[in-house]
A and B are shown apart, each in its own frame.
Chain A
Amino acid sequence: MKPWISEKESLKVAFRDTYLAREGAEAGDRWESRVMGRVREIGPLSPLAKFWPAFERTVWRLAPVSGALILALIALFRIMAQDLGYDYLSALAAGPQEQPLTELFELEG
C-alpha cells in the first residue's frame, strides 16, 4: 500500500521547496584554500611521479662524486699495472697454456 504522504501534493511541494531553498544559504570562501592546503599536504598521487624526481635528484647529487671516483680508479689501475711490470693485455692475448699460473703470479723464484 502506497504511503498517503506520496499523494499529498501540497505537502510534498512544501517540503521540496524548503529542502531546495537550502541551496541559497551563504558559505564562505576560505574553505577552498583549506582544500588546496590539505591536497598539497597529501602530495602527488602517482607513485611514479614521486619516484622519478627523487631518483633524478639523487643521481645528480652523486654525479660529481661518481665521476671523481671513476677517474681515481682509472688512475689507480694504471699505476698498479705499471708497478707490477706486467702487460696484462699481452698475457690475455698469449692465452693460459703459455703462461702457467706460477709464472703469471711470479710464484717461483
Chain B
Amino acid sequence: MPGDAEVVRQVLEGDVNAFESLLVRYRVYVLRIVKRHVPQHDVEETAQDVFVKVYLSLSTFKGKGSFSRWIASIAVRTCYDYWRKAYRAREIPLSTLTERHRRWLEQRISDESDQSFNERSSQREDREVLDWALWHMSAADRTVLELVYLEGLSIREAADLLGWSTANVKVRSFRSRLKLEKLLRGLTEQGGKTA
C-alpha cells in the first residue's frame, strides 16, 4: 500500500481517484476531531469541507512533519471557521439553565460530589453546562479553550494547529478560562438564567 507522500504525489500529478485512499485512511481521524468541536447535526458537512480543503491544499504539503498532523490542522481550522460563520449569522442557540444545573455546578466546584448523585444526570448536566458556556464565547476563545483546557494541548501545539502565534493563543487561553469562570460564577450566583 503506497504511503501518504506517494498518494499525494499521484493526486498532484492529476490522479483524482487516488485521493479516495487518503479519504478512507483518515476519515475516522477527521471525524473524531470534528465531532469534538462541531454540533452533531453539522458533523458530516464539516467533515466533507475538511477533506475538500485537504484536496485543494495538497500542493502546500511539503512533507515536513506528519501528514496526519497537517490534516488535523486543516480540520481544526475548518471547525473554527464553522463557529465564526455561526456567530456571524447569529446561529447560536441560547439555552436556559435551571436550578438543577446550578446545584450540579456547586457540587462540582466544591469537589464534594454526593455518592448517591445520579451519574447519568450528572453527564447530562456536564454536557448542558459546557455547551451553554461555550456558546457564550467567541469562536476564537471557544476553540482555544477546547484545545488547551479540554484536550490538554500545550500552547505551542494549539498555536501550530491553528496557525496562530503562541502569544495570541496564550492570551486567548487565559481570557477564555476567565470568561468560563465568570459564566460559571454567574450561574451559581444568579441561578443561571439567560435571555
Count of A-B contacts with CB under 8 A? 115
User: Is there a chain B Cβ closer than 8 Å to A78's Cβ?
Assistant: no
A50 and B14 in contact, given A31-B47, A39-B19 (Cβ under 8 angstroms): yes
User: Chain A residue with minimal CB distance to B146?
Assistant: A19
Q: How many residues of A contact B (CB 8 A)?
A: 40
Check B51 against A35 for contact (C-beta < 8 Å).
Answer: yes
- The stretch from A10-18, A66-74, A81-89, A90-98 touching chain B is A10-18
A81–B98 Cα distance when bound, in Å, is: 104
Chain B nearest CB from A68 CB (Å) reads 33
Q: For B97, list chain A residues within 8 Å (CB).
A: none
Contacts from B to A (Cβ < 8 Å): 11-17, 19-20, 23-24, 27, 31-32, 35-36, 40, 43-45, 47-48, 51-52, 55-56, 58-59, 105, 108-109, 111, 113, 122-123, 126-127, 130, 146, 149-152, 174, 177-178, 180-181, 184
> Could you pull out 15 A-B pairs where Cβ atoms are within 8 angstroms?
A5-B177, A5-B180, A5-B181, A6-B177, A11-B105, A18-B123, A20-B36, A20-B150, A23-B36, A30-B44, A31-B47, A35-B48, A36-B19, A43-B16, A53-B14
Q: Which residues of A contact B (CB under 8 A)?
A: 3-6, 8-12, 14-23, 25, 27-28, 30-32, 34-36, 38-40, 42-46, 48-50, 53
